A and B are shown apart, each in its own frame.
Chain A
């Protein structure tokens, strides 16, 4: 089976149908990235489609110096950022997600041995991250949940490395305060 570079060369030469193979190869990663910012499966699918269509439009700009996967991940992060900005504008129309008792108990517990399940943790983070700006949220998500480097994050949000570091530090402090607020409010 040909690698991404060969496939992309064929696609640039007019073999549009081969793009479906590119989609199949990278869809899981794109879905995983977008799921960090949107929990509704249908919306994730729409955002993933937007990511691939944008990649298709910009294919002429992909120079092959970095792996295609990295380039595509950057597009997905930008699509997520735009989505968060749109959602932020209509945040008041959207209800807050419900939190399970397990997540709240864990949040209030002082016992460090207490463990939280993945779903509870994701819901709790989703709720707390609503207090962050879209760019702060992308920075924290990429750094803490996707273990991306500062350079990658800077490339995705169009900022310098120093700006990303400062933003990450402030965002983490905001997130901590938001979690403390949730623990108190939901009593």
Chain B
């Protein structure tokens, strides 16, 4: 069976006419559709589902905040301005560790 003969076979088969739908085919489809059960109402969303849904976004936002803080700290250090860690130490020294502190 060569390629040419196979193509000839496909070409001949392509000409075959399909069976014709009966006159009331559309009506019978409608009847079948009406027998279909109504679509189920969506289930209530639980807290767990919400967490599942939001987890990737929350993780991404947290990573972005961490990266921003690190970048700001590095930027301040390079510019000669006291870094964030210096500010935190200063705050602890001035407020938290004094007898009148928090």
Q: Which one of B23-31, B43-51, B67-75 is at the A interface?
A: B23-31
Q: B interface, how many residues as a size bin? A: 20 to 34
Q: How far is the CA of A57 from the CA of B39 in the complex (A)?
A: 9
CB distance from B55 to the nearest CB of A (A): 26
Q: Which residues of chain B are near A124, meaning CB under 8 Å?
A: 9, 13
Please report the C-alpha to C-alpha distance between residue A59 and residue B90 in the assembled complex, in whole angstroms: 64
**Contact B36 A57, beta carbon cutoff 8 Å:** yes
Q: Are B4 and A112 in contact (CB under 8 A)?
A: yes
Question: B12, A121: Cβ atoms under 8 Å?
Answer: yes
Asked if B59 is at the interface (CB within 8 A of a chain A CB), the reply is no
The reply on B53 being an interface residue by CB < 8 A is: no
Consensus secondary structure, chain A interface: helix
- B21→A45 contact, CB < 8 A: yes
- Which residues on the B side are within 8 Å of A145 (C-beta)? 10, 13-14
Interface of B is mostly: helix
Partner of A23, one of B5, B12, B19, B25: B25
In this complex, how many residues of chain A approach chain B with their Cβ under 8 Å: the count is 41
* Residues on B with beta carbons closer than 8 Å to the beta carbon of A125: 9-10, 13
Closest to A146 in B: B14
Inter-chain contacts of B22 with A (CB < 8 A): 45
Residues of A near any B CB (own CB < 8 A): 16-17, 19-21, 23-24, 27-28, 31-32, 34-35, 41, 44-45, 48-49, 52-53, 56-57, 112, 115-122, 124-125, 144-145, 172, 175-176, 179-180, 183
User: Which residue numbers of B lie inside 8 Å of A, CB to CB?
Assistant: 1, 4-6, 8-10, 12-22, 25-30, 32-34, 36
